Amino acid sequence: MSLAIKDDEVDIVIGALRSDLTTFMNEWRPMFSRFHLIIVKDPDLKEELKIPEGFNLDVYGKPDIDQVVGSSTSILFSGYSCRYFGYLVSRKKYIISVDDDCLPARDPKGFLVDAVAQHIRNLTNPATPFFFNTLYDPYAEGADFVRGYPFSLRGGVKCALSCGLWLNLADHDAPTQALKARQRNSRYVDAVMTVPAGSLIPISGINIAFEREAVGPALVPALKLAGEGKCRWETMEDIWSGLCVKVVCDHLGLGVKTGLPYIWRTDRGDPIASLKKEWEGVKLMEEVIPFFQSVRLPREATTVEECIVEVANAVKERLGSMDPVFARASKAMLDWIKLWQSVGSSSSRSSAV
Amino acid sequence: MATVSPTPLLKDELDIVIPTIRNLDFLEMWRPFFQPYHLIIVQDGDPTKTIKVPEGFDYELYNRNDINRILGPKASCISFKDSACRCFGYMVSKKKYIYTIDDDCFVAKDPSGKDINALEQHIQNLLSPSTPFFFNTLYDPYRSGADFVRGYPFSLREGVPTAVSHGLWLNIPDYDAPTQLVKPLERNTRYVDAIMTIPKGTLFPMCGMNLAFNRELIGPAMYFGLMGDGQPIGRYDDMWAGWCTKVICDHLGWGVKTGLPYIWHSKASNPFVNLKKEYKGIYWQEELIPFFQSVALPKDCTTVQKCYIEISKQVKAKLGKVDDYFNKLADAMVTWIEAWDELNPSGNISAKIPNGASK
């Protein structure tokens, strides 16, 4: 059922927050080497990148970012958000992105998980957001729709985003990880499922893939915490971006999947130290979630760009006065759309609403 | 670090309801797990047949004569020649929780080879909260070894009461007849080690083979409809109950979980027989789903019974024109509630409609 895709339809985009990518690239070599890679160096990173030989890749750093988007807008791409520059300059249909402190995981049988292949499978098989299938992914081998699943919904819709998970260091927030210092995620849940339409989910940027041509502009580098740092515990940019994508996908009838593949996230950082910085993010979520749950997009918004502009305006109107971070996020979203239209490749097709 | 406390047995608070028309041999395999509990056997089909219950179980058994005697004219709402009759068991139970299982379901093994105590897992599911307002990507956050992920708002981390625990099946999957015909050999071998809350506003096809629920919370919504003898449809009983239940749970702010535990489903029913039963349902479903997706319950429906009666009115108004069956079903839904209240007069659980995160 899945579409066969060609290797040259995929870009693997890596945001480099650490300079030595040798182990990372070598461990991922079996899965990455067929594809073109875009490596974007965090503009704040001073050291030279160390990248092993044998990959087909392009590396971008601060000078490139400044040149393409201008130094005033380049602020959008610092820290973890540097990867969004890669999304902007990519010309491929699909993008897969993992954090640079993640390695391939092993499944319960001990085999290395090819996260790239799984993400591609997720994106090229339909999603089923309008009714929950209790056997999870109906297109998986050995599975199907269960009794009671309406036949008219079995064709599914395009899957625009695939959210993977993490073994070892799961993506908990700082308070949780500080409280459960030794907890590591060892549970391998062998399922992919579509997140139902109308339901929001915290999309972690650690291990994602998406169809750039369908939803590229919706992954917005917008929410920058005042104390944003270089650990995931000190960021919320991906959570914000994911909420935008989900709202847009729900509006345009596109699907979002979650579950496999797993990657192995290495231990790094100190949650207690991060706690001070991330507390801001934790508090903001209390406003952010009700906002996204209630945002409504007009029928006239039929492209991803139009949808994001609507969301950005709603953010300014309803959240702008609550905290300056929201007013900045709104502006960043609008700047991003302008950039996408001028620098990005042909924008997404209009989807019938 | 807190140790995981053992799951309470709840042996005086839970009834196991089993519909049967054949025999109860399967109980032998479940004995280690079921023996502490009281069973309610609902015998379908010929009431003159004697169904032997294995020694050592504490049970009450009802056949069709008993159902007619106890409910009088209201017995018309209980299906005959269909496992939907099991909901009579829910009605006569006096316990807080119900676990229902089919008589062709056996103990499954987890990937390590250990026998799965399905009932214990259901109890854990029911006793821990649900999280319907925001999806946790690591699934059940209350399970040992898991938690909420980054970005999950703290104000939603307490969760809401769990009304339903929907378990799954290894071996023979719960497919509809067309799928069974196309894939007669497919077996579910995938053990998905997760429990998750089905988000608010999302419908799902509930299966009654391996199901537990908080009877005090949601019991009156678990009516399995008019199926079997004299009815134009079968194999939609549990799904009907599931859609009504989910709409009501969404309205009253309770959760529905799906996933673990697995049981081993051993008997594949005849797909040609199933096709005849399901045939009309396959078409009607296309009307039913939009219907349930758009049911709006008014704020003054603060009890399950009030919600259910309101749904029955909307069934009559909107589905009556699809087929006269739905007029009869709507009437039966009202009869069911009347019978429920007669047999369970102690009062309704009134739920404060949560302000919560709106949809």
Q: Which residue of A has its CA nearest to B169?
A: A135
Tally of structural domains, chain A? 1
> Any idea where the domains of chain B sit in the sequence?
14-343
Residue A241 touches chain B, beta carbons under 8 Å: no
Residue B358: per-residue pLDDT: 33
Give residue A268's pLDDT.
79
Instruction: Give the pLDDT of residue B1.
Output: 41
CB contact under 8 A, B134 and A289: yes
Tell me: pLDDT of B355 over 50: no
Cβ pairs bridging A and B (under 8 Å):
183
pLDDT at A353 (0 to 100): 34
Q: Is B190–A176 a contact, with Cβ atoms under 8 angstroms apart?
A: no
Q: Which residues of B touch A150 (CB under 8 A)?
A: 285-286, 289
Instruction: Write down the pLDDT at residue B19.
Output: 97
Which residue in A133, A176, A201 is closest to B137 by CB distance?
A: A201
* Confidence grade of residue B237 (pLDDT, cut at 50, 70, 90): very high
Nearest chain B CA: its distance from A72 CA (Å): 29
Q: How many CA atoms lie within 13 A of B57 on its CB side?
A: 28
Q: Check if A109 contacts B (Cβ < 8 Å).
A: no
Task: Give me the percent of chain A exceeding a pLDDT of 70.
Answer: 96
State mean pLDDT over A158-180. Answer: 92
Range of the domain at A59: 10-351
> Residue A172 and residue B150: Cβ atoms within 8 Å?
yes
Q: What is the pLDDT of residue B347?
A: 56
Residue of B nearest to A242 (CA): B151
- pLDDT above 60 for A30: yes
**CB-based contact B205:A134 (threshold 8 Å):** yes
- Short-list B116, B100, B87, B83, CA closest to B16: B100
Asked whether residue A209 is assigned to any structural domain, the reply reads yes
Task: Please answer whether residues A304 and A218 qualify as being in contact, where contact means their C-beta atoms are separated by less than 8 angstroms.
Answer: yes
Q: Which of A128, A132, A147 to mutate to test the interface with B (most CBs of B within 10 A)?
A: A147
- Residues of chain B with C-beta less than 8 angstroms from the C-beta of A229: none
Q: What angle do CA B193, B199, B200 make, to 5 degrees?
A: 155
B14-343: CATH topology: Spore Coat Polysaccharide Biosynthesis Protein SpsA; Chain A (3.90.550)
- Reference A326, options A275, A284, A274, A280; nearest CA is A284
For residue A257, count other CB atoms closer than 10 A to its CB: 27
- Output the CA torsion sign for A39, A40, A44, A48: positive
Q: Indicate yes or no: CB of A172 within 8 angstroms of CB of B151.
A: no
| B4 has pLDDT over 70 | no
Task: Quickly state the pLDDT bin for B349 (edges 50, 70, 90).
Answer: low
Q: What is the pLDDT of residues A71-107, one digit of tens each?
A: 777 778 999 999 999 999 999 999 999 999 999 999 9
Residues B207, A187: C-beta atoms closer than 8 Å: no
**Are A151 and B285 an interchain contact pair (Cβ–Cβ within 8 Å)?**
yes
Beta pairing class for B38-43 and B14-20: parallel
| Res A232: pLDDT | 86
pLDDT at A347: 42
- Between the two ends of chain A, the Cα-to-Cα distance in Å is 25
Of residues A233 and B249, more confidently modeled: B249
Q: Is the pLDDT of residue A5 over 90?
A: no
Residues on chain A touching B111 (C-beta within 8 angstroms): 108
Contact A85, A60 (CB under 8 A): yes
Residue A348 scores a pLDDT above 50: no
Nearest to A142 among B139, B189, B203 (CB): B189
- Mean pLDDT estimate for chain B: 93
Find the mean pLDDT for residues A333-350.
Answer: 77
B255-309 residue pLDDT tens = 999 999 999 999 878 999 999 999 999 999 999 999 999 999 999 999 999 999 9
For residue A20, pLDDT beyond 70: yes
Q: For residue B67, what pLDDT is reported? A: 97
**pLDDT, average across residues B76-92:** 96
Interchain contact A139–B (C-beta under 8 A):
no
> B188 vs chain A: nearest CA distance in angstroms?
6
pLDDT in tens, B147-162: 999 999 999 999 999 9
Assess contact for A138 and B167: CB atoms under 8 A.
no
Q: Do B205 and A190 touch (CB under 8 A)?
A: no
pLDDT score, position B143: 93
Q: What is the pTM of this model?
A: 0.93
Q: Is the predicted pLDDT of residue A349 greater than 70, yes or no?
A: no
Q: Which of B188, B189, B235 sits opposite A147 (nearest CB)?
A: B235
Q: Which of A191, A197, A286 is the closest to B153 by Cβ?
A: A286
DSSP letter string, B197-208 = EPPTT------T
Cβ–Cβ contact A337 with B under 8 A: no
- pLDDT at position A300 is 96
A295 contacts chain B (CB < 8 A)? no
- Top residue of A136, A145, A146 to mutate, by most chain B CBs within 10 Å, is A146
Cβ of residue A291 closer than 8 Å to a chain B Cβ: no
Query: Between chains, do A204 and B166 touch, taking CB under 8 Å as contact?
Result: no
Angle (CA) B338 B339 B342, round 5°: 85
Q: What percent of chain B has pLDDT over 90?
A: 90
Q: How far apart are CA A300 and CA A330, in angstroms?
A: 20
Angle between helices A271-294 and A237-252 (to 10 degrees): 20
Residues A147, B278: C-beta atoms closer than 8 Å: yes
Residue type at B212 in one-letter notation: A
**Chain B positions in Cβ-Cβ contact with residue A293 (cut-off 8 Å):** 133, 357-359
Residue A119 lies in a domain: yes
Residue A213 has pLDDT above 90, yes or no: yes
With an 8 Å Cβ cutoff, are A148 and B239 in contact?
A: yes
Q: What is the pLDDT of residues A276-302, one digit of tens each?
A: 766 788 889 999 999 999 999 999 999
Q: Is residue A236 less than 8 Å (CB to CB) from chain B?
A: yes
Give just the sign of the alpha carbon dihedral B186, A126, A84, A251. Answer: negative
Q: Which residues of B touch A197 (CB under 8 A)?
A: 202
Return the percentage of chain B with pLDDT > 70, whole number: 95
d(CA B306, CA A219): 44
Chain A residue closest to B187 (CA)?
A142
Phi and psi based region of residue A221 (left: phi greater than 0; alpha: psi -120 to 50; beta: remaining): beta
Among A171, A186, A200, whose Cβ lies nearest the Cβ of B150?
A: A171
Chain A nearest C-alpha distance from B181 (Å): 13
Q: Cβ contact (<8 Å) for A142 and B188?
A: yes
Distance from CA of B34 to the nearest CA of A (A): 26
Average pLDDT over residues A304-320: 97
**Mean residue pLDDT across chain A:** 92
Mean pLDDT of A242-254: 98
Chain B interface, best mutation among A109, A133, A134, by max B CB count within 10 A: A134
* Residue A2 domain flag: no
Q: What is the CA radius of gyration of chain A?
A: 19
* Chain B residues with CB-CB distance to A203 below 8 A: 137, 151
pLDDT at B353 over 60: no
Q: Please answer whether residues A237 and A205 qualify as being in contact, where contact means their C-beta atoms are separated by less than 8 angstroms.
A: yes
What is d(CA A166, CA A262) in angstroms, rounded to the nearest whole number? Answer: 5
B353 in helix, strand or coil? coil
| A200 interface with B at CB cutoff 8 Å | yes
Whether B65 has a pLDDT exceeding 60, the answer reads yes
Q: How high is the ipTM of this complex?
A: 0.92
Inter-chain CB proximity A236 and B152 less than 8 Å:
no
